[in-house]
Structure 1
Amino acid sequence: MRLHSLRLAAFGPFGGRQHIDFDRLAADGLFLLHGPTGAGKTSVLDAVCYALYGSVPGARQGQELRSDHAEQDTLTEVVLDFTLAGRRLEITRRPEQDRPKKRGTGLTREKAYSALRERDPATGGWRALSRSHQEIGIELRDLLVMSREEFCQVVLLPQGEFARFLRAGAEDRARLLGRLFDTRRFAAAEEHLDEQRRAALEQVRTGDERLLALAHRIQQAAGGPGGAELPAAGDPALAGAVLRLAAQARADARERLEIARLAAEAAEAAHHAARQGRDTAAALHTLQQRHRQARARQEALRERQPEREAARALLDRARAAAAVAPALDLYTEAEAEHRTARREETLARAGLPEDLAGAPAETLAGRERALRQESGTLAAARAAEDRAGRLAAEIEALDETVRRDGERLAADQEALARAEATRHRLGTALEAARQAGRDTERLEHLLAGERRRLRAAARRDALAEDADALAAAHTRAAREADTARAGWLDVRERRLAGLAAELAGRLRPGQPCAVCGSPEHPAPAPRSPGHVDREQEDAARQTLEQAEEHREELARRLAALRAEHAAAAEDAGNEPLPALTERVTALEQRLAAARAAAAGATAAEEDLARAEAGRTGLAARIEEGHRTAAGRASRRAALAAELAALQKELARARGDAPSVAERAARLEREAGLLAEAATAATRAEQTAARLKEADARLATAAYRAGFETPERAREALLPETGQRELADRLEQWSREEAEIRAVLGDLATVRAAAAPPADPEAAGAAADAALHRVRDTSAAHRAAADRCAELDRLSAEAAGAVRQLAPMRARGARIARLADLVRGRTADNLYRMRLETYVLAARLERVAAAAGDRLGAMSAGRYALTHTDVPVSRGRSGLGLRVLDAWTGRERDTATLSGGESFYVSLALALGLADVVAEEAGGQRLDSLFIDEGFGSLDEQTLDEVLDVLDGLREQERSVGIVSHVPDLRARIPARLEVVKGRRGSTLRQRAAPGAV
């Protein structure tokens, strides 16, 4: 990081604006920031820290940053131009502060402000990056890679914090070094290994839990827990225990399977024998039952013999009557048809005229044909009647449409009149708005001039008051100068009056007199009371000079103020401020009214355009309405003429009927009645003939079948189902008789009937008991087989899990050992040092070596810095620093150094740290270093040696700023920045080294 410039305003002791050009100061590599105590040397470093971090270092945090010497209208501000990580940046910060109100009197609180810009290398211009406090803080933190406290330990070494890095604890030192050397990747490697360790252990734990779950399932499949207790998850012996458990369970299960198989085979043999005994008893019992049942059926058939004979006779008579059934059916059908036809004929003739009530069917048919011919002639008249109805409806609808169009046309005409009035009103409003726009430009120009006069008048009056106050102050200063001159003259006269005594006081015996040259001094002039010496005269003269300078300063300021007042009066004129204020207020009100009126111009134009479009649309719609009304009137006249012609033609066609359709319907109804009557009469004649013919056929069939009358044949008839039932009954009796003879003639049945009675229930119970035993033993055998299969499967799964878990367990152990090694948690890591700490220790060792070279030069070869890996209690090891004292040959703790020794040892350490950081490829180069005080604690020889070391930094293009009030440094360091303290605040004077640009 390199600083280029710093601008201050109202910051700390600096009441005004100050500028520091670090490029010119640091051109020689070494510059001095000096000034009296309390002038504000440390405030320059505070400003750098505030610009970068938004706060000041150490105990000065929380204090008011604004200068007590600043004018109210000068805002407290710090602007730092610097290069960081190859980027040229500019940061501007202003704290929260009070400022004068822009309008009126009094103060208002202004919020804190931050702005970050970057210079574009291509164009050389500045490009804004952010104005957000948070974004700027994140951006600078990522670039600086140091906190504010670490920055004060490495780059900015303020009072009271110079040796903090030298005496810092291991954790603080590790935090700073980690950011400077960017060792996050090593910390990330530690975290990565820890994550890998946790993941590997989780995989092993999951595998062990799976093995335990398989072991429990094996125990459950084997029929219970049993066996020795298993090791816990994570125990390497768990895999072997599970495999042994699985082998023992498989052996036990196979032994139980063999026992179950033998029991099942014995039960199956017993069941086979019991089943054979049950079948033999059942067969014998069946034969004995058949014999008893056959005897009982044979006796029952003998008792029903008369019933069989009667059924056979009834079946024979019914079969004879079946030959007469077709003739009977024909006669019955013809008789029913004839009765139906007679009823239909009577109903059909009921609606005929009296002259046609007894007319034959042919007469009725002829009369029907005549009526239908007459109805056909009315078809054209019916079409005309329909057309007349449609015409009347259309004329009525047309009249309603014309009425509605008339109402709509009247409404459009009224709307057109209103639109004309609106268009005229909007046009007037638009012209007024346009005129207001033209007035706005004129009023703005006039108001700008009046505002300038108002500001000039306010400044004129304020300057007049200031001039009066300054004139009074100048008058008082003139009187004070006159008084000082009179006092100086009085003191001078008194000194001249006593000058002989003053010269006599310098005489020495034997030495010549400065006036007469005599070595003898017989009567030297004595001192009178109230004698004034040279110091008093010089004091009076100095008082006079200060009074004269103050009077002249006031005179210059008064002349400048009066010239400024004259310029303001020329711009404002002689008009009083209230009158100008009232005129400006009136113009502002007129301008606001004109702007408000002009603002409506666009809206007025749009309203006028919409009104014009609406009026045009209404006019077009009214014209279209007139054309449409004319066309509809013409259409109605044509329709009315056509309707009149049709009505004349229809009057002739409908006769005495209300309408042609009614007359046609009447003819159709009469023709329909005649057609129905003719059809009914014809059918009645035909059915009478068929009935007579069916009666003759029935008498002949009954006689041939052996029946005396047709009624006797009708009585003997049986339905087909009845005949089948009788035949089936007779057939069943015959089959049953044959079956009985077959059973009673069977030799096996006869032998069974002669044997003792069988007991099938006892044989069945024995067979069922044997079957239950077969089922139980078979189920036990299947369960044993399933248990063996399940144990084989679980054993194979457990063996596979063990094979998968072995490499995971080995990998987990390796990763755990490696993670513990890089974390310093294992005895293999001798110093219990973490990987990041190991890397930082190597960097710190290089820092100590680089610092040792400079420390040797600063301490005349007495001291050297050494790095130590000795662990500290409850802290990191590997980050210790010791001081080797060449005079004693022993190492010392840094806390035992004196104030001066701590100063130059810390300085050497800071320079060594800067060297090593700059050498690192990813490190942050530290081109600027500030040292606040501490040189006063060095003796002259050590101071020379330290300055020689610092002077050698010029060859490395690095700059070091020394903040000190030691006088000897001014002679050694030509580039200086002096802080001058005064009553109105401190100021800066910059002096570059000879030859600096």
Structure 2
Amino acid sequence: MYLHRLELRAVGPYPDLVSIDFASLAASGVFLLEGPTGSGKSTIIDAVVYALYGGLAGSDASTDRLHSQHADPAVEPFVDLVFETGAGVFRVRRTPPYDRPKQRGTGTIRQQSSAQLFRLADPSDLVGEPVSHRAPEIGVEIARIVGLNRDQFLQTVVLPQGEFARFLRAPGEDRRKLLQSLFGTAIYDRTADELAARRRSAVADVDAADARVRDALGRFRQASGDDDADESSAADVVTELRRTAAGLERARTTARTDAEYAVAHLHDVTTRLAAVDRRRGLLARADALAAGAAAVAGHRTALGLADHAAVVVAVADGAAAAEDRLTALVGERSAVRDRHEMTDAVPRDTHDRLAAARSEVRHLVDLEQSLDQRAAAVQSAAADLERTQTRLVEAATALSARPDERAEIVRAAARSAEAAADAAAAERAVETAQELAGLLAARRVAAGRTSERAAAVTAAATAAAAALATENDLRARRIAGLAGELGAALVPGDPCPVCGAVEHPAVALPQDDHPSAEQIDAAAAARADAERALGTATADHAVARADLDRLTEAVGEHDDESVARQRTDADARLAAARSAADAVRDHEQRLQGHDRATRALEDDHTDLVTRIRLLADRIDGDRTRLDADRARVDDARRTVRAALDQAVTAGAGTEARAALDLDGPRGTLAQEVAAVDALIAVLRTVADLDDLVTAAEREVADRKAEVDAALQAQGFADVTAARSAALGRADAERLRGLVAAADREQAVVEAGLAEPAAVAAAADIPTDADPGAALDRGAAQTARDAAAVALDDTTRAAAAAGDRATAAERCAADLARAVRARDTTSAESRAVVRLADIAAAAAHVNPTGITLGTYVLMRRFEDVVAAANDRLRAMLAGRFTLETSDERETGTRARRTGLALAVRDHLTDSTRDPRSLSGGETFTFSLCLALGLADVVQAEAGGVSLGTLFVDEGFGTLDPETLDDVIGQLSRLTAGGRQVGIVSHVEELKQRIPERIAVRRTPEGGSQVTTTV
């Protein structure tokens, strides 16, 4: 990544516009950012970091301090950066949050932060293509474009010397945390955790598999009935059970065959006996049929003659009915004509003329009925027109008053908005009061804790003094009784360890309370424990006291009463501001409602104007159409009268004359049409009766011809003879029933005697000559029952044996599957368990004691140290190199991290602790580590090109020769177009580096920037 141009305004100590052209500054590779301490050098780096990531270089720095206190509050602060990566040229602009003056009234309002990202065609492009205006999207997009997140950027592009001095001296565990965050190796720790979880799961699976084998074996023993069976003998037990079941199945098959034979024999005997009884019954019924054959033949003859007579009688009855209908129709026609005084010889023609005239005018009946309603509608529309004109005048009056009402609402909203603007300040006051209340509560807790720990210090001091006195007393008594201890150890004939004599005339004896060495060691250990407890209690008391002092200083002169008053005032102030805010919303809603009502009034005014115009047009048109329709109705009444005159002349009767009387003022067109309908109905009735009489006369002639033909066809002389031969329904049905019953009985007897069983039964009927032919059903049933009992016994035995064998076979299969699953699970779990133990540094498989995550970091750390050593050899003439080790850090009992660091001094061929380096050496080593880490992180980030690099303070600790080496090494970093910015106030660097950014304070309190290229 290369920086091209940075612009900022109203940021930090810079009230005015600052523009820095990094591309021109870095033409020679190295440039200097110099100025007095506190003048604003770090602010420039903060501006770069803030433009890219929306945060500052410091981990705990707040963006609130970006807004310059020296600038006009109304001036918008911003940071604008143009940079280039492999993805292209981009421009990012951010404004931090700040308080600006209100546009109306007094006070300030919080202006939130904003961000914009543009893609540029080239660094000189001033407009570009917008990419995003949302800060979260811009953060994700810049991380993708640059290839580094904020933490990686700060460790690779901005190299603060102090941070890497701490990294150089830090224990391995601290280095592990930093390297893990930079290289993202937490995935390996998660991998180790996942392996551990899988190891636990694998062990649980093996245990479960063993349990399933035990359960399957128990079920097999229960199913087979063999309590001594095991995994190896299960197959043999199943074979034996299956052999026993097969033998019992063969016995069951034999018993079933015997039982089936006995059942078949019993069925045969029973069937033959039933056939004998049936044959005897059929022979008896045949004898009865032969006795009644003559009577049935007479019934058949009478039924045949009655069927022929029925044909003639039916035709004669039809002819008589036709004559009766003709007589009735002639009488009905005469009655109708007489009732209506009709003399019209051809009523059908009069009917058709009236129907045609009615069809011409019927559609005008509804039109006539609507004339009065339409006239009333015209009058109602005229009244509606007058009311609408009145409403139009009222709407115009209401609209004229709306502007003054709206102005009053706007003025009230402005007053409430001015009061609501104090909400942010009131909220900060409430938060301040809450923080003070929390600090007061914490101070009370800290005071109690300090008192408790002071008492603990006193008790620990007393215990330590007592333990020390006890140890001193025991040591004094032991020294005083050493003679007795030596005397107790003397053996006659052995030389004395003090004087060398072999004779011991007066041996000193040990005292009864002489302390032993173990007692003194125990007292010393107790004294050491008491002293450690005293040290711990003293340290805890000091921490508690410092916490109490800090809280007391933070609280200041405030107490519960003053904080309560401050909180009450702040709450009241906040409540008033929020009430005003609610009022603002109410006024806004009123204003919106007023505007909606005004728009509704305007719409109503427009609608009323349109409605008046439409009503006037519609009234004129309705009056014209009403007059025309009245004329059409009058013409229709004249047409109806002309048709009625013709009907009266033709002799249509009383209805025609009555219809003519309706003409004129006495009737309406609807009444006239109704009278015509009634006349048409009468004419249609008479015409229809004429047609029916004619048809009846033709039918009577046809029926008489049919009677003559039927007599000749059925063989009767006249109708009287046919009626004599006919039978009544009851008699005919009785005779038919007798004949049908005899026919059915004859058919049943013949069919029954023809059946094979009945024919064969003739041989089984005992006779006087052969009485032994009778069948014995009782003996057959006894044999059947005995065979069934035998079959039941063998079936139960075979089923029990088969079920036991099947259950044992199924349980044996389950046992075999459980054994195979256990063996498979055990085999599969071994690799997972071993891999998890290696990753977790279990001692029995991983004697190095290094976890998977630490091992990966070691390899990355070796790359960092190798890259640092390449620069150390150039900067310090090859005297020093850094070495890594997988041992614990010197002087610590922490777990092995594999990230221990030592300095190898090739001049003295010795190894040194990094904390023993001088200030200049520490800076050099730290810088080399920082540059090496930058190279490795760059490679880890996918080959990200780091075109711009900032190196912060520390050059003042170097001697001139080392400074030359360091500057030379930094200059070599510029190969390939890399930019290196050195942040320092060392005077000698100004002589060595001509390109610089100079930061100086101004008399007004701010700072200004001068760029020298």
Fold shared, TM-score > 0.5 on shorter chain: yes
From the superposition, tell whether residues 116 and 829 of structure 1 become closer, same or farther in structure 2 (CA, over 3 Å): farther
Confirm whether residue 935 of structure 1 aligns to residue 955 of structure 2. Answer: yes
> Is 2:855–2:898's contact at 8 Å kept on the other side of the alignment?
yes
Structure 1 vs Structure 2: percent identity of aligned residues? 28
CA shift digits 1:395-430 (9 cap, x unpaired): 534434565666677778899999999999999x99
Instruction: Write the mapping of 1:803-882 to structure 2, written as runs, cut at 5 A.
Output: 841-870=858-887, 877=897, 879-882=899-902
Confirm whether residue 768 of structure 1 aligns to residue 765 of structure 2. Answer: no
Compute the displacement of 1:896 (Å): 3.8
Confirm whether residue 39 of structure 1 aligns to residue 39 of structure 2. Answer: yes
Q: 2:771 aligns with which of 745, 750, 754?
A: 750
Compute the displacement of 1:858 (Å): 3.7
Q: How far apart in 1 are the matches of 2:691 and 2:28?
A: 141
Compute the displacement of 1:280 (Å): 9.6
Determine the structure 2 residue equivalent to 1:922: 942
Compute the displacement of 1:771 (Å): 3.9
**Residue aligned with 1:881, SS:** strand
Determine the structure 2 residue equivalent to 1:648: 645
Compute the displacement of 1:12 (Å): 3.6
Determine the structure 1 residue equivalent to 2:158: 156
Compute the displacement of 1:653 (Å): 2.4
Q: How far apart in 2 are the matches of 1:16 and 1:123?
A: 23
Q: How far apart in 2 are the matches of 1:715 and 1:114?
A: 117
CA shift digits 1:284-340 (9 cap, x unpaired): x959x979998xx99x99xx9xx98xx999875786687677778999999999999
From the superposition, tell whether residues 267 and 791 of structure 1 become closer, same or farther in structure 2 (CA, over 3 Å): farther
> Is 1:423–1:611's contact at 8 Å kept on the other side of the alignment?
yes
Confirm whether residue 904 of structure 1 aligns to residue 905 of structure 2. Answer: no
**Amino acid in structure 1 at the alignment position of 2:134:** S
From the superposition, tell whether residues 339 and 650 of structure 1 become closer, same or farther in structure 2 (CA, over 3 Å): closer
CA shift digits 1:774-815 (9 cap, x unpaired): 6546756876897799799x699969x979997x99888778
**Amino acid in structure 2 at the alignment position of 1:110:** Q
Q: How far apart in 2 are the matches of 1:730 and 1:27?
A: 136
Q: How far apart in 1 are the matches of 2:298 and 2:877?
A: 164
From the superposition, tell whether residues 58 and 896 of structure 1 become closer, same or farther in structure 2 (CA, over 3 Å): farther
**Residue aligned with 1:658, SS:** helix
> Is 1:857–1:949's contact at 8 Å kept on the other side of the alignment?
yes
Q: How far apart in 2 are the matches of 1:664 and 1:919?
A: 114
Q: How far apart in 2 are the matches of 1:114 and 1:697?
A: 123
Compute the displacement of 1:719 (Å): 3.0
Determine the structure 2 residue equivalent to 1:883: 903
> Is 2:116–2:133's contact at 8 Å kept on the other side of the alignment?
yes
Q: 1:136 aligns with which of 138, 143, 168?
A: 138
**Residue aligned with 1:115, SS:** strand
Bigger CA drift: 312-321 or 18-27? 312-321
**Amino acid in structure 2 at the alignment position of 1:648:** D
Q: How far apart in 2 are the matches of 1:920 and 1:352?
A: 124
Determine the structure 2 residue equivalent to 1:259: 247
**Amino acid in structure 1 at the alignment position of 2:100:** R
Compute the displacement of 1:92 (Å): 3.5
Confirm whether residue 892 of structure 1 aligns to residue 880 of structure 2. Answer: no
**Amino acid in structure 1 at the alignment position of 2:912:** R
> Is 1:384–1:646's contact at 8 Å kept on the other side of the alignment?
yes
> Is 1:931–1:963's contact at 8 Å kept on the other side of the alignment?
yes
Confirm whether residue 396 of structure 1 aligns to residue 365 of structure 2. Answer: yes
CA shift digits 1:911-968 (9 cap, x unpaired): 3334556678933333444343333434555445444544554556444444444444
Listed as ranges, the gaps of 5+ residues in structure 1 are 231-240, 357-363, 437-595, 702-709
From the superposition, tell whether residues 209 and 121 of structure 1 become closer, same or farther in structure 2 (CA, over 3 Å): farther
From the superposition, tell whether residues 614 and 112 of structure 1 become closer, same or farther in structure 2 (CA, over 3 Å): same
From the superposition, tell whether residues 257 and 82 of structure 1 become closer, same or farther in structure 2 (CA, over 3 Å): same
Q: How far apart in 2 are the matches of 1:119 and 1:740?
A: 119
Q: How far apart in 2 are the matches of 1:625 and 1:314?
A: 102
Compute the displacement of 1:905 (Å): 0.8
> Is 1:219–1:249's contact at 8 Å kept on the other side of the alignment?
no
Confirm whether residue 719 of structure 1 aligns to residue 763 of structure 2. Answer: no
CA shift digits 1:696-753 (9 cap, x unpaired): 8999x9xxxxxxxx9xxx99998354477689999999999x9999877637960256
From the superposition, tell whether residues 399 and 886 of structure 1 become closer, same or farther in structure 2 (CA, over 3 Å): same
RMSD: 6.9
**Amino acid in structure 1 at the alignment position of 2:39:** A
Determine the structure 1 residue equivalent to 2:58: 57
Listed as ranges, the gaps of 5+ residues in structure 2 are 404-594, 657-678, 754-758
Determine the structure 1 residue equivalent to 2:350: 381
> Is 1:291–1:750's contact at 8 Å kept on the other side of the alignment?
no
**Residue aligned with 2:56, SS:** coil
**Residue aligned with 1:849, SS:** helix
Determine the structure 2 residue equivalent to 1:108: 109
Determine the structure 1 residue equivalent to 2:478: none
> Is 2:224–2:804's contact at 8 Å kept on the other side of the alignment?
no
Q: How far apart in 1 are the matches of 2:246 and 2:992?
A: 110
Q: How far apart in 2 are the matches of 1:109 and 1:727?
A: 119
Compute the displacement of 1:75 (Å): 4.4
**Residue aligned with 1:990, SS:** strand
**Residue aligned with 1:125, SS:** coil
Q: How far apart in 1 are the matches of 2:108 and 2:746?
A: 137
Determine the structure 2 residue equivalent to 1:95: 96
**Residue aligned with 2:902, SS:** strand
Compute the displacement of 1:273 (Å): 7.2
The structure number with the bigger radius of gyration is 1
**Could you tell me the TM-score, scaled by structure 1's length?**
0.58
Compute the displacement of 1:649 (Å): 1.6
From the superposition, tell whether residues 876 and 45 of structure 1 become closer, same or farther in structure 2 (CA, over 3 Å): farther
From the superposition, tell whether residues 167 and 811 of structure 1 become closer, same or farther in structure 2 (CA, over 3 Å): same
CA shift digits 1:21-69 (9 cap, x unpaired): 4444444444444444443444444444444441341565587444444
From the superposition, tell whether residues 674 and 890 of structure 1 become closer, same or farther in structure 2 (CA, over 3 Å): closer
From the superposition, tell whether residues 647 and 262 of structure 1 become closer, same or farther in structure 2 (CA, over 3 Å): closer
Q: How far apart in 2 are the matches of 1:946 and 1:727?
A: 139
Q: How far apart in 1 are the matches of 2:127 and 2:329?
A: 120
From the superposition, tell whether residues 320 and 383 of structure 1 become closer, same or farther in structure 2 (CA, over 3 Å): closer
The count of residues paired between Structure 1 and Structure 2 equals 768
Q: How far apart in 2 are the matches of 1:853 and 1:717?
A: 134
**Residue aligned with 2:350, SS:** helix
From the superposition, tell whether residues 418 and 192 of structure 1 become closer, same or farther in structure 2 (CA, over 3 Å): farther
CA shift digits 1:467-520 (9 cap, x unpaired): xxxxxxxxxxxxxxxxxxxxxxxxxxxxxxxxxxxxxxxxxxxxxxxxxxxxxx
Determine the structure 2 residue equivalent to 1:536: none
Q: How far apart in 2 are the matches of 1:341 and 1:292?
A: 57
Q: How far apart in 1 are the matches of 2:393 and 2:277?
A: 131
Instruction: Write the mapping of 1:223-622 to structure 2, written as runs, cut at 5 A.
Output: 223=223, 247-248=235-236, 251-252=239-240, 254-268=242-256, 270-271=258-259, 377-391=346-360, 393-400=362-369
Q: How far apart in 2 are the matches of 1:860 and 1:902?
A: 15
> Is 1:16–1:70's contact at 8 Å kept on the other side of the alignment?
yes
Q: How far apart in 2 are the matches of 1:261 and 1:375?
A: 109
Q: How far apart in 2 are the matches of 1:947 and 1:339?
A: 145
Compute the displacement of 1:383 (Å): 1.6
Bigger CA drift: 810-819 or 189-198? 189-198
Determine the structure 2 residue equivalent to 1:233: none
